[in-house]
Amino acid sequence: MTTLIGGLGTSHVPAIGGAIHKGRQQEPYWKPFFDGYPPVQQWLQEKKPDVVVIFYNDHGLNFFLDKMPTFAVGAAEVYNNADEGWGIPTLPPFKGNLDLSWHIINHLVDKNFDITTCQEMLVDHACTMPLKLFWPEGECPVTMVPICINTVQFPLPKPERVYALGRAVGEAITSWDSDKKVAVIASGGLSHQLEGERAGFLNKEFDLQFMESLVSNPEWATQFTNHDLVEKTGSQGIELLMWLAMRASLAVGPGHGVRKVHSHYHIPISNTAAGLIALEKF
C-alpha cells in the first residue's frame, strides 16, 4: 500500500540556482536562507521517499502565453531541463514515474478535472530547484510526477478549485497500488512582486499567517479571491496556490492531520520572501 509521508513547500528563485552553482551558500547574503534546509534534508534522509509529486508553475520554458493550460500533469519517462536564460546550468534529466502519473491523471479526469496530459515535458527551475535544495548531493534519489498550475496568465484557477485539485491528487496517491513512499512538494511563493509600481513588495505578516494555517486550518486561504491574494502578496505571490494544493493533498486517507517538522522564513532573497515548510502526515 502506498504511504503518503507528508509535504514540503519551498520558494523558488533563479538566483538560488546561481548561488548553488557558484558555491555561495556560506556567503553572508545567502547563509540565512540555506541554513533553513538541513533539518528538512535530515527528515528526508530518515523517511526516504521513493517518489515526489511536485506542484509548480512554469515560467515560459514548457508553456508560454499563447498556450497556457490551467492544470497540466506530466506523464513522461524522463523530464528534461533546459536553459531558461538565467545562467543556471542545465541539469541532467529527471526520472518520471509513469505508473503514478497515469493513476493521477485517470483519477483527476474521473473527478471532472479537465487537465492537459504531457507525455513530453520540459521542466524549469520551479520544478528542479526544490530537488537540489532537498537533495543537494549526488543524483536525485526520487522519481517524480510534475503538476503545473497556471499562476502566470489570467484567468487563474480559484483557491478553492486548487484545494480541490490537491485533495484529488492526494486521493490518487493514497489509492495507488504500490509499496512506494510518496512526498508532495509545493514550489512557489511566498509574497513577492517583480514588476510595476509595487516591485519589491513583501508581506511578512500574511506569509507567516498563511504558513501557520497550513498546520492548523488548511482551508483558510480558500476564503480569498485571486485578486485578494495578489493584493496581499504581490503579483507573483499568487504562487502560494502550490502550497495550498500540497496541503490539500495531505487532508485525505486514514489520517487527516499533519505535524510540522520544520519551517523557516527569510526576507529578502532576490526581492522575494523565501519560505520553507515540512509537514509530516499522520
Q: What is the 3-state secondary structure (H, E, C) of the chain?
A: CCEEEEEEEECCCHHHHHHHHCCCCCCCCCHHHHCCCHHHHHHHHHHCCCEEEEEECCCCCCCECCECCCEEEECCCEEEECCCCCCCCCCCCEEECHHHHHHHHHHHHHCCCCCEEECCCEECHHHHHHHHHHCCCCCCCCEEEEEEECCCCCCCCCHHHHHHHHHHHHHHHHHCCCCCEEEEEEECCCCCCCCCCCCCCCCHHHHHHHHHHHHHCCCHHHHCCHHHHHHHHCCCHHHHHHHHHHHHHCCCCCCCCEEEEEEEEEEEECCEEEEEEEEEEC
Q: Which domain holds residue 272?
A: 3-281
pLDDT, residue 250, reads 97
Total domains, the chain: 1
Task: Give this prediction's pTM.
Answer: 0.95
Q: Which residues are catalytic, by number?
A: 125, 192
Mean pLDDT of each 10-residue bin along the chain, 282 residues long: 96 91 95 98 98 96 92 97 79 95 98 97 94 93 98 95 98 97 96 91 97 96 96 95 98 84 96 96 93
pLDDT, residue 255, reads 66
CATH classification of the domain holding 83 = 3.40.830.10
